[in-house]
Structure 1
Amino acid sequence: MGEVSSQLSLPVTIKETETFDSYVEGQNTQVCGHLTQLFEQLKHNRLEHWLNYIFSDQEVGKSHLLYAICHQAEIEKVSCIYLSFEEKADLTPEVLLGLEHYSIICLDDVQQLQDCADWQVALFDLINRVKEKNTGCLVMTGNQPAQLLPITLPDLLSRLSWGISFQLMSLTDEQRQQALIVRAELRGMNMSKDVAKFLVNHWQRDMSALINSLDLLDEKSLQQQRKLTIPFVKSILDI
C-alpha cells in the first residue's frame, strides 16, 4: 500500500449502524447509487469519478454516507480511510501524506478548513497525488457548493469543482419516521409508526438528535422492561 501516516485510523465514533442499509434515501437515491457503484468500478479498474463532492445543510446524512462507504469497503476488502476536518485540531496537515495509496479516501467537513492555509495546501497536494496515481478516489463533504466554500486557496477551490457534485436533500417527516423505525430495529427495538410520528413531531427536528434519543430509550426500556409506547417516551424524554 505504500507509506501511510500512522496517525490516522478509522474513528471509534463510527457505529456499526451507519451503513447503506440503514440510510433512508428519500430524494437521495442518485447519490447513494453513485457511491455504491464506486466499488464496482474499483473492482474492474474502470473508475469513472475519482473526485466526488457531497454537500448539504447539517444533519442530513453526509457523515452517515461516508461511514457507510467505510463499512462497505471493509466487507469488500477495499482499502479505505476516513477523516473529519472537525478533528484537525488534534492532527497536523502531514496526516494527509500517503493517503493516495488508499482506494477510497473519505474526507468530511471540508468547510472546516476555513482560515487554515497549511491544511488547504495539504488537501490541494493530496488531490493532485490522487489524480496522478489514478488508482483510487476521493469522496468529500461540505456544507455548501464547492465554489461557495470559505476556502482562500483559489487552486483548491478549482480542484474541488473538478469532480462530480451532489446535494443531499432533507427527509420529509414521513421519511424521518421511517428512518427512526429502521434505526430502532437495528438496535433490536420495536418502534411503532405512532411512536415514530410522536418523536418526529415533538422531539428535536434534526435526525442526529432523533437517532441519539434511541440510545436513552433503549437503555431505559431494558432497565424498566417497558415497551416503546408514547407515554413511556414522554416520561423518559420529558416531553
Structure 2
Amino acid sequence: MVQVTSQLSLPVSIKETDTFDSFIEGQNSQVCAYLKDVVSQLKSGHVKHWLTYLFSDNEVGKSHLLYATCQLAELHDVSCIYLKIEDNTDLTPEVLSGLEHYSLICIDDIEGLTHSLDWQVALFDLINRIKEQNTSSLLMTGNQPAKLLPIKLPDLLSRLSWGMNFQLMSLSDEQRQQVLVVKAKIRGMNMPLEVAKFLINHWPRDMSSLLNSLDQLDEQSLQQQRMLTIPFVKSILDI
C-alpha cells in the first residue's frame, strides 16, 4: 500500500514523537546534520543537496528521520510531502506526478517499487523534473545500497548514484536503552536506566518489539498506577 502524507495531514503521533530531538543518533550524527542542512537550504532557496538516498536494515530509523525532516520543514514553512512505498500498492505511478512542486519530497522504502517497471519509470521522470527545476530536494530510503537494488531500469540506477548516499548505522545496546528512556518519557513514563537495560537483555532486541513493549507497560502502569520497576516489567511482560 502506498501512503501519501503532506505537511497538512501528518498524524499527530508522528509530529509529536518522530523528531530529531527524539532520534538517538549514535553513529548517525553526520546524517542528521546533513538532513537539517537540507531544510536550511530549502528555506533559503539555495538548493545544493537535491537528491539523497538513505539505506539500512529495518528498525534502524530511516522512517523516523524522514518524519523528522518533514516536521522540521513544516516548522520553517517549507512545503513537504511524505510517501511510503510497499510491495502491494493500491495506487498507480501517477501519484508521483506533480510532486516536484513540493520543496521537500520524502519517499520511503523504494525497494517496494522494484517489482514494477512503470513505477521505476515514474520515479526516474520525477528525479529528472526535480533536477531540471532545481528548487526541491528528494529524500529516499531503501533496505540496501542503491546499486544492489533489483531495479530493472538502468537509467534509474544511474540517477540514484547522482546524489548523496548514506548508510544508517545500527545502535549499540546502550543507545537502545537511551531510545527506550526517551520514548517512555514522551509517553509520560519515567523509565529508569536499569529497567531499560533489563528490557534490552530479556526482550526481543529489535526496536519494533522493544517499542511495542512500551504500549503494554504504558497501559498497565496507568491502570495500576505503578512506576516502571523491574518487578513490574517482569509481571506485565511475563518475563
| Normalised-by-shorter TM-score class | over 0.9
What residue in structure 2 maps to residue 219 of structure 1? 219
> In structure 1, what is the equivalent of residue 191 of structure 2?
191
Equivalent residues in 2 for 1:27-66, closer than 5 Å:
27-66=27-66
Give CA-to-partner distance per residue, 1:108-129, whole Å, 9 cap, x none.
Answer: 0011112211111110111011
Contact 1:54 1:168 in 2 (8 A): yes
C-alpha separation between the residues in 1 aligned to 2:21 and 2:211? 15
Contact 1:51 1:164 in 2 (8 A): yes
Q: How many residues are treated as equivalent by the alignment?
A: 233
Shift of 1:226: 0.7
Aligned position for 1:131: 131
Task: Tell me which residue corresponds to 1:81.
Answer: 81
CA apart distance, 1:54: 0.4
Q: Aligned pair in 2 of structure 1 residues 170, 151: CA closer, same or farther (>3 Å)?
A: same
**1:151 aligned counterpart, secondary structure:** coil
Any conservation in 2 of the 1:14–1:67 contact (CA below 8 Å)?
A: no
Partner of 1:165: 165
How far 1:49 moved relative to its partner? 1.0
Distance 1:123 1:13, change over 3 A: farther
**Is contact 1:100–1:126 with CA below 8 Å preserved after alignment?**
yes
> SS at the partner of 1:67?
helix
1:60 maps to a residue whose letter is V
Q: Gaps spanning 5+ residues in structure 2: where?
A: none
Report the CA distance shift for 1:72/1:214 in structure 2 as closer, same or farther (over 3 A). same
Deviations 1:191-221 (A, max 9, x none): 0011000111111111122122212211110
Matched with 2:72 is 72
* 111-120 or 50-59, which deviates more: 111-120
Which residue identity does 1:136 align to in structure 2?
S
**Alpha carbons of 1:8 and 1:116: their partners in 2 closer, same or farther (altered >3 Å)?**
same
Question: What letter corresponds to residue 173 of structure 1 in structure 2?
Answer: D
2: CA distance, partners of 1:50 / 1:164:
9
Letter in structure 2 aligned against 1:18: D
Corresponding residue number in structure 1 for 2:5: 9
Deviation at 1:8, TM superposition (A): 3.6
Which letter maps to 2:155?
Answer: D
Q: Is the 8 A contact 2:87 2:112 kept in 1?
A: no
Give the Å deviation of 1:9: 2.8
Give the TM-score taking structure 1 as reference length: 0.93
Deviation (angstroms), 1:88: 5.6
Deviation at 1:104, TM superposition (A): 0.5
- The aligned amino acid for 2:92 is T
Equivalent residue of 2:89, what SS?
helix
Percent of aligned pairs with the same amino acid: 69
Deviations 1:45-77 (A, max 9, x none): 221110000001111000000011111122111
Which segments of 5 or more consecutive residues in structure 1 lack a partner in the other structure? 1-6
Deviates more, 1:146-155 or 1:40-49: 40-49
Question: How much is the aligned-residue C-alpha RMSD, in angstroms?
Answer: 1.5
**Deviation digits for residues 61-96 of structure 1, max 9, x if unmatched?**
000000111111221111000011117612111100
Contact 2:93 2:122 in 1 (8 A): yes
For residues 18-48 of structure 1, give each alpha carbon's deviation from its aligned partner in whole angstroms, at most 9, with x where no partner exists. Answer: 1100000000000000000112111222211
Does the residue aligned with 1:89 lie in a helix, a strand or coil? coil
Structure 1 outlier segments of 4+, above 6 Å: none
Equivalent residue number for residue 121 of structure 2: 121
Contact 2:87 2:115 in 1 (8 A): no
8 A Cα contact 1:111 1:149, kept in partner:
yes
Going from structure 1 to structure 2, the CA distance change for 1:13 and 1:85 (only over 3 Å counts) comes to farther
- Paired residues of 2:60 and 2:171 also in contact (CA < 8 A): yes
TM-score scaled by length of structure 2: 0.93
